[in-house]
Amino acid sequence: MGEVRIKARLRNFVDVALAERGGGTVDRLPTSELDCLVDTGAVMILLPADEVGKLGLARGGRVIVTYADDRREELSTARGLEVTVLGRTMVTDCVIGPPLCEPLLGHLVLEELDLVVDCARRSLGPRPESPNLPLLKLK
């Protein structure tokens, strides 16, 4: 089984909302287009600290992360990250990793955007039942 990677567009949602509310253009806002590793074992998004700074995200709280080798570390989070993958957009928090670390796309994004990993094809795409919009359960 190989890696699945996908391009994600990242912006500061507070900036987007302020630009839209004030009649400004969102085209001029700081935006990152990152090649992310899709990690179904990760819960949240992990972004390098330099990208979080570039986007001007607000600091959140702290979390303890567990790595694949069972090490644990306390890391900061950032709030208000707008993530767009395959034309589907959501707003979420992210974990702040060291500068230049590999960005990870975790399970929360896959769930909310209703995307599935195809390991055989090493690709990410919408569930066949929801090709146009995310289909979310509200039970």
We report the CATH number of the domain holding residue 37 as 2.40.70.10
120 within domain boundaries: yes
Mind listing the pLDDT tens digit for each residue in 77-113?
Answer: 999 999 999 999 999 999 999 999 999 999 999 999 9
135 within domain boundaries: no
Q: Give 26's pLDDT tier (boundaries 50, 70, 90).
A: confident
138 within domain boundaries: no
- Cα separation, 10 vs 48, in Å, equals 12
35 within domain boundaries: yes
Q: What's the pLDDT score for residue 1?
A: 55
139 within domain boundaries: no
**Global pTM?**
0.91
134 within domain boundaries: no
132 within domain boundaries: no
- Cα separation, 125 vs 132, in Å, equals 11
Number of compact structural domains in the chain? 1
Residue in 38, 3, 40, 32 with CA at minimum distance from that of residue 15: 32
Could you list the residue range(s) of the whole structural domain that residue 46 is in?
A: 5-126
In order, the DSSP letters of 77-127 are: EEEEEEEEETTEEEEEEEEEESTTPPPEE-HHHHHHTTEEEETTTTEEEE-
- Residue 131 is classified by DSSP as S
136 within domain boundaries: no
Q: What's the pLDDT score for residue 22?
A: 83
